[in-house]
Chain A
Amino acid sequence: AQTVTQSQPEMSVQEAETVTLSCTYDTSESDYYLFWYKQPPSRQMILVIRQEAYKQQNATENRFSVNFQKAAKSFSLKISDSQLGDAAMYFCAYFMEYGNKLVFGAGTILRVKS
């Protein structure tokens, strides 16, 4: 079964600094998709960034980028120039078409200090 591990229950970053959230996953498949979702206190699930496993290039969305290491099964999220609005719970998630479901990690709470 696919599993997703987020080893950092909580992280803190100073405003305008950079922070990296870790995620590892376990799968025997070669085609899959990885996502980072943000969950603010409202508990809405907001997609931050996605990565297709067949793409070698790391995905980037404005201040958010990933470091995807397929062989190591690692998918970390880097947030540059952190803002107060980035404070939230961040979930790493794995999707494989066969199975047709998202598997989530336990989440990392990100706190941003002003």
Chain B
Amino acid sequence: EPEVTQTPSHQVTQMGQEVILRCVPISNHLYFYWYRQILGQKVEFLVSFYNNEISEKSEIFDDQFSVERPDGSNFTLKIRSTKLEDSAMYFCASREYEGAGGYEQFFGPGTRLTVL
């Protein structure tokens, strides 16, 4: 069964460093998302991406964040200068087009980001 994959599973970085979190969505999916979950808290939407551009972003997704789909398979989240409060689990998700079952988002296993 196709699945969303994410690398790395755990990333440790120093405050102020840049990190890139990588995701490979399911191959025929058209919509891509990043969510984050600070430990013990709810899952929060960061950004959605469709047709090679951002379609929606939250207040969390400020100028320090960017997303890219550099080729036909990868979808990346970059944090330019990490802060302590960026420590969280980051989930990538994807979904196919509208239609029966089309609104279901499939989640990757997450990348745990630790900022020291």
Contact = CB atoms under 8 A, between A and B. Distances in A.
Contacts of B103: 33, 50, 95, 97
Interface in B58-103: 58, 89, 91, 93, 98, 103
Given A42-B109, A43-B110, A104 B42 contact: yes
B56 A106 contact: no
Q: Interface range on chain B: under 10, 10 to 19, 20 to 34, or 35 or more?
A: 20 to 34
Interface of B is mostly: strand
Contacts of A99: 56
A100 B42 CA distance: 18
Contacts, number: 55
Interface of A: 33, 35, 37, 42-47, 50, 91, 93, 95, 97, 99-107
Contacts of B41: 106
Nearest to A104: B43
